[in-house]
């Protein structure tokens, strides 16, 4: 493996594979979905993503009838039934169902942040965190509320917003049973109990 990535120390048997891999660190995503505009590092990722639009889920679980877009998702899901967690952290002995989850977890111990934003130089431990961060620079808001058409950079932000329409308040205070639609509002509310207790 003579070709080393200077960002993350992965090695490759030829230079073309190294160049393809380095797209991850540079944030370069040349394969774009014509349906929704999402972009990917590799063509096979785009192919898998397009199954979201076609509804194709070729990998079916014999245990629970769930089906999956990718074989890797199917294999990980099988471990839910077997209880298998074959990937163990050498630092804290925590185990994981998938190798990629272990690799991300290890960065908690090493402090490694191999994914760097080409716009501002900020670094991240996970590629999807960099992907989401870059929307700050591009202004992209791909998630649209179906009720009011307001758009958001993050899926989680849109889901939180939708609770305004549904009236759902999933976060409840253990002290007084008051409910909130955002965790941050519950935390802020908790400070009032703490302040009252101190007085």
Structure tokens at 14: 């030829």
Q: State the average pLDDT for the chain.
A: 86
CA separation for the pair 141, 158 (Å, rounded): 10
What is the per-residue pLDDT across 129-179, written as a single tens digit (0 to 9) for each? 898 899 999 999 988 988 899 999 888 888 888 878 877 777 888 878 788
Residue ranges with strand state E in 67-169? 67-68, 87-88, 95-96, 115-116, 123-124, 143-144, 151-152
Q: Which domains does the chain have, with CATH numbers?
A: 1-56 (3.30.160.60), 60-139 (3.30.160.60), 151-198 (3.30.160.60)
Identify the helix (H) or strand (E) that includes residue 99. helix 99-110
Q: How confident is the model at residue 195 (pLDDT cuts 50, 70, 90)?
A: low
Q: What does residue 74 show for φ and ψ, rounded to 5 degrees?
A: -65, -45
Question: For residue 122, is pLDDT > 90?
Answer: yes
| pTM: predicted TM-score of the whole model, two decimal places | 0.48
CA separation for the pair 40, 46 (Å, rounded): 6
- Burial label for 89, CB within 10 Å (0-12, 13-18, 19+), is middle
Beta carbons of 67 and 56 less than 8 angstroms apart: no
The pLDDT of residue 177: 77
Quote the DSSP letter at residue 134: T
Mean pLDDT of 87-105: 91
Tell me how long the chain is: 199
């Amino acid at each position: 493996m003579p070709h080393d990535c200077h960002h993350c120390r992965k090695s490759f048997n030829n230079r073309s594979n190294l160049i393809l891999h380095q797209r991850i660190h540079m944030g370069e995503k040349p394969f774009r979905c014509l349906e929704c505009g999402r972009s990917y590092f590799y063509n096979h990722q785009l192919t898998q993503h397009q199954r979201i639009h076609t509804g194709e889920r070729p990998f079916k679980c014999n245990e629970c009838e769930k089906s999956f877009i990718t074989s890797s998702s199917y294999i990980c899901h099988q471990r839910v039934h077997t209880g298998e967690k074959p990937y163990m952290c050498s630092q804290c002995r925590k185990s994981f169902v998938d190798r990629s989850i272990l690799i991300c977890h290890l960065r908690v111990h090493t402090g490694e942040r191999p994914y760097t934003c080409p716009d501002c130089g900020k670094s991240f431990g996970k590629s999807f965190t960099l992907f989401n961060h870059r929307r700050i620079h591009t202004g992209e808001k791909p998630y649209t509320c179906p009720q009011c058409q307001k758009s958001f950079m993050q899926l989680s932000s849109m889901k939180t917003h939708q609770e305004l329409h549904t009236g759902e308040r999933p976060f409840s205070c253990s002290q007084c049973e008051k409910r909130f639609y955002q965790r941050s509002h519950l935390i802020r509310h908790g400070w009032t109990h703490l302040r009252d207790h101190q007085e």
